[in-house]
């Protein structure tokens, strides 16, 4: 892109030089220039204008492509943030469930040490363990989803085509 900008500035400078030369020839300040030389200069000027217009179109296309890629990257970043936020929520749920499981197991151990088997404590421990397992599974799913979202651009077939186009 820097090359395009540099070429465009060089072409603009050449156009200015040619234009001033043509103006001088037209005004008669350049001396006794013949019509053939004037026509050649005019042809060069027209050619440079064409090249300049082509470069401007290419620059415009590059800018549009860059804007589209930026929008796609921002969209992907928002998707990834959403997945990371979901993962964070699931991990918080897992921590809470594990904390409840530890408390239920501690109460169950105390009851067993006292020689009192309490069915309510056993049920509470089982429910806490099931909730911890569910939370762990949800956290694993959220983590896998976040990883897949991050890897999708790398693994997509379009990524190979985009790389080939960028190399060309």
Q: 158 vs 122, which has greater pLDDT?
A: 122
Q: Give the separation between CA 145 and CA 83, rounded to whole angstroms.
A: 7
CA distances from 62 to 3, 70, 82 (A): 12, 12, 30
Single pTM value for the model: 0.48
Locate 50 and state its tokens.
């064409």
Contact 60, 130 (CB under 8 A): no
Section 21-46 average pLDDT: 70
* 3-state secondary structure (DSSP) of residue 116: coil
pLDDT band at 161 (very low <50, low <70, confident <90, very high): low
Taking alpha carbons only, the member of 165, 161, 140, 45 closest to residue 87 is: 140
pLDDT band at 26 (very low <50, low <70, confident <90, very high): low
pLDDT band at 58 (very low <50, low <70, confident <90, very high): very high
Domain that holds residue 101: 2-167
Name, in order, each residue with C-beta under 8 angstroms of 143's C-beta and a sequence gap of 6 or more.
Answer: 87, 90
Section 148-164 average pLDDT: 69
Output b/e per residue, 78-112; b: 16+ Cβ within 10 A.
Answer: eeeeebbebbeebbebbeebbebbeebeebbeebe
The pLDDT tens digits for 63-105 are: 999 999 999 889 888 888 888 888 888 888 888 888 888 888 7
pLDDT band at 57 (very low <50, low <70, confident <90, very high): very high
Provide the domain count of the chain. 1
Section 7-11 average pLDDT: 80
The pLDDT tens digits for 94-129 are: 888 888 888 887 887 787 778 777 777 777 778 888
Locate 104 and state its tokens.
């239920």
Q: What is the pLDDT of residue 68?
A: 93
Share of the chain above pLDDT 90, in %: 10
Q: Is the pLDDT of residue 10 over 70?
A: yes
Provide the Cα torsion 69, 72, 78, 80; round to 10°: -90
């Amino acid at each position: 892109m820097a090359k395009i900008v540099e070429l465009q500035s060089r072409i603009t400078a050449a156009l200015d030089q040619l234009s001033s030369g043509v103006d001088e020839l037209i005004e008669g300040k350049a001396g006794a220039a013949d019509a053939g030389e004037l026509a050649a200069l005019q042809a060069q000027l027209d050619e440079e204008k064409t090249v300049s217009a082509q470069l401007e179109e290419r620059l415009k296309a590059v800018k549009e492509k860059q804007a589209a890629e930026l929008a796609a990257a921002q969209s992907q970043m928002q998707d990834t943030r959403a997945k990371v936020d979901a993962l964070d929520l699931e991990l918080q749920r897992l921590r809470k469930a594990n904390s409840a499981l530890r408390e239920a197991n501690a109460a169950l151990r105390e009851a067993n040490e006292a020689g009192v088997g309490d069915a309510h404590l056993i049920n509470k421990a089982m429910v806490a363990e099931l909730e911890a397992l569910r939370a762990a599974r949800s956290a694993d799913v959220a983590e896998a989803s976040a990883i897949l979202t991050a890897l999708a651009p790398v693994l997509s077939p379009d990524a190979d085509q985009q790389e080939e186009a960028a190399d060309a």
